[in-house]
Amino acid sequence: MIRSIDGKTPQIHPSAFISEAAYIVGDVVIGEGTSVWPGAVIRGDYGRIIIGRNCSIQDNCVIHTDDYLEMGDNVLMTHGAVIHGGYVGNNVMIGVNAVCLEDCRVGNYVLIGAGAIVTGVPIPDESLVIGVPGRIRELPPQHRQRLENPTARYQENAKRFIAAGLGLQVPAMES
């Protein structure tokens, strides 16, 4: 469901896939090739949310902010992950049920492990974050390649769903 509030309507690139069971409201911008899967909630009711190109927001993820949130390109938010404000760089994977709390600052080529909790501590480029609270480690070389295009598989799956008529009709973007 795509909804407006307080005169703010989500701006979604026409190539994006939005599941019929996703909920997107308010001051939200979704980039080219991004997919939003069932149960995902993106609430731009208190602040602006910008999601880059070729991101995959998987089942039951929550994206919300009290102020501003910007997500780069090629971000894979896996099932049940939560982001509440801040900045997420490019080529990032956020593991199952991981939580990025307000004012998180996540660099490029970062892997946040399943169940990790990221607080306001800046996460440098090429890092691995694991545990509660999240402990920052250097990203092992074998994981860097996974982050080159972490959403490729989901981009193909979104095309499959679109071809089957399973996504929402995305309204035209305002100029």
Question: Is residue 37 within 8 Å of 54, Cβ to Cβ?
Answer: no
Beta-sheet pairing, 135-138 with 117-118: unpaired
- What is the rounded average pLDDT of the residues 127-143? 96
Assess if residue 50 is contained within a domain: yes
* Average pLDDT of every residue of the chain: 95
Distance of CA 74 to the CA centre of its chain: 9
Residue 124 belongs to a domain: yes
Residue 173 lies in a domain: no
Q: What is the pLDDT, as a whole number, of residue 124?
A: 98
Domain count, the chain: 1
- pLDDT over 90, % of the chain: 89
What is the band of 172 on the pLDDT scale with cuts at 50, 70, 90? low
Residue 82 has pLDDT above 90, yes or no: yes
Query: How many other CB atoms are there within 10 angstroms of residue 127's CB atom?
Result: 20
pTM, two decimals, is 0.94
> Is residue 174 included in any domain, yes or no?
no
- Is 130 within a domain? yes
175 within a domain of the structure (yes/no): no
Domain CATH code at residue 67 = 2.160.10.10
Residue 117 lies in a domain: yes
Task: Judge whether 121 lies within some domain.
Answer: yes
Query: Computed over its alpha carbons, how large is the radius of gyration of the chain?
Result: 15
- Look up the domain containing 38 and give its range: 2-162
Predicted pLDDT of residue 120 = 85
